[in-house]
Amino acid sequence: MSIEKNTNYGSISVSEDAVAALAGEVITECYGVVGMSSAQVLRDGWAELLKRENFARGVKVSQKDDGLVIDLYIIIGFGMKISAIAEEAQKKVKYVLEKSLSLNISEVNIYVQGVRNIN
DSSP state of 47: -
Q: Are 4 and 66 in contact (CB under 8 A)?
A: no
Q: What is the CATH number of the domain that holds 8?
A: 3.30.70.1350
**Under DSSP, is residue 71 helix (H, G, I), strand (E, B) or coil?**
strand
Report the alpha-carbon distance of residue 113 to residue 38 in Å, rounded: 8
The structural domain count of the chain equals 1
Predicted TM-score (pTM) of the model is 0.81
Range(s) of the domain holding residue 100: 2-116
Question: Is residue 93 within 8 Å of 72, Cβ to Cβ?
Answer: yes
Query: Per-residue pLDDT tens for 32-80?
Result: 988 888 766 555 455 566 666 666 678 899 988 888 999 999 889 898 8
In 1-119, the DSSP E strands lie at: 2-7, 10-15, 33-36, 59-64, 67-77, 105-116
pLDDT digits (tens, 9 = 90+) for 85-102: 999 999 999 999 999 988
Q: Which residues pair with 44 in a beta bridge?
A: none
pLDDT in tens, 110-119: 999 888 886 6
Backbone angles phi, psi at 109, to 5 degrees: -100, 130
